Structure 1
């Protein structure tokens, strides 16, 4: 394998890498908005609010993200006359709707996990629905959402490689273009390079979300770190209880 050729071609990966990061960040931000909107709607007690949201969630979760990409990039301009100026915009919207629909279940379940006593206290204090959601429910539900949202963010990063199917030049497409020169014999080193790049980006997302989770838990008075003596004290206590028996 000619790794020298890969090193020489590194400057050509700068712009595609920026495209991959832009698609991931923009899709994740939009997906978070979609997730909260659909999650709150599916948590509603009103059938007229809950039913349309459930239909949207099941539609995007039940259909292929690849088909959705082609639909937004190719089918919508032909059938509905909706033309995106850039293919990257269609890719961002398609990925955001797909992963936002999946993440909406994380939002819904986290909201449902808030103890009913907290809601009863809000009623006793005469909180409005907005105050109840902003001051009580979301601060407690948010730390529970972060681990699952982290997984979806990493999945979204990996799914960003699919934008190469609609001719968006990301690092995956650049690797196939450069590696495909000369009959494709030099493609393996370039694929190894983007494998490392995706791993580094996923590692950065994971660490960032872990830091966000610790901050969110501290905000509601939860210590995110396990005390060092807890793992020792528990078996010791169990052994002591067994001896007493």
Structure 2
């Protein structure tokens, strides 16, 4: 208790910075994922080529390398210095957005072809059929994977301590150094990271339930640690050949 009284406010500050990085990265990654994911499904070869280049480049480069490049290399090339916080969010968003773009592309391609042909028979424009038919169904399919990517992005924020941003990992290491309490310092960090992850998972599950209800589907059972304790759905037999 004395440890928390002394260092608790610092951990809260670190957690708040981690949350800011996470939310900023999520917004940027979502915009990039939707943009390049949709581009990857259009007929234009140029559009698909642009989407492929983005995905392959930023999916193949570590977020830490992108962050170092933005903070240290870019100023030498352009003379402009990005704020460390902005550069970190940009690196995280670019990296996770590339993974998200593939999720969007595959989810759109998974929509039954018969439904797309029906919209064409109704003379709906590409924008209309994408907005009214394709994306609502693809959205429900992509949300579970988006949930995993959101948590991965949150965990990836830990790399920012290498550029002296005082996130949760930086605070835990500094508190360990000052107090000598290694177990206590990283136990608090462990608990806070886990708590943030559970809140993110809960939020994605709510979106997933809402999306499935709009499509008339049965919402999936809840995730997280408590989800592991729930029995299987009625009528489901695990391990029994059909």
TM-score by length of 1: 0.88
Match of 1:108 among 87, 105, 112: 105
Aligned-residue offset at 1:228: 5.0
User: Does residue 155 of the first structure (1) align with residue 152 of the second (2)?
Assistant: yes
Question: In the alignment, is the contact (CA less than 8 A) between 2:11 and 2:189 conserved in 1?
Answer: no
**Cα RMSD between the aligned structures?**
1.9
CA distance in 1, matches of 2:163, 2:42: 37
**Secondary structure of residue in 2 paired with 1:223:** coil
Deviates more, 1:165-174 or 1:150-159: 165-174
Deviates more, 1:40-49 or 1:126-135: 40-49
Match of 1:121 among 118, 137, 147: 118
User: Does residue 41 of the first structure (1) align with residue 39 of the second (2)?
Assistant: yes
Q: For residue 60 of structure 1, what is the aligned residue in structure 2? A: 58
Q: For residue 14 of structure 2, what is the aligned residue in structure 1? A: 16
CA distance in 2, matches of 1:144, 1:102: 15
CA distance in 2, matches of 1:58, 1:81: 28
Question: In the alignment, is the contact (CA less than 8 A) between 1:69 and 1:90 conserved in 2?
Answer: yes
Q: For residue 77 of structure 1, what is the aligned residue in structure 2? A: 75
Aligned-residue offset at 1:122: 0.9
Q: For residue 220 of structure 1, what is the aligned residue in structure 2? A: 215
CA distance in 2, matches of 1:206, 1:64: 24
Gaps of 5+ in 2: 222-231
CA distance in 2, matches of 1:97, 1:225: 30
Question: In the alignment, is the contact (CA less than 8 A) between 1:6 and 1:190 conserved in 2?
Answer: no
Q: Which consecutive aligned stretches of 4+ in structure 1 deviate over 3 angstroms post-superposition?
A: 225-229
* Cα shift readout 1:68-98 (whole Å, capped 9, x = no counterpart): 11011111112222322x2110000000000
TM-score by length of 2: 0.89
Say which one has the larger Rg: 1
Gaps of 5+ in 1: 239-245
Aligned-residue offset at 1:14: 2.4
User: Does residue 198 of the first structure (1) align with residue 193 of the second (2)?
Assistant: yes
Question: In the alignment, is the contact (CA less than 8 A) between 2:111 and 2:138 conserved in 1?
Answer: yes
Aligned-residue offset at 1:107: 0.2
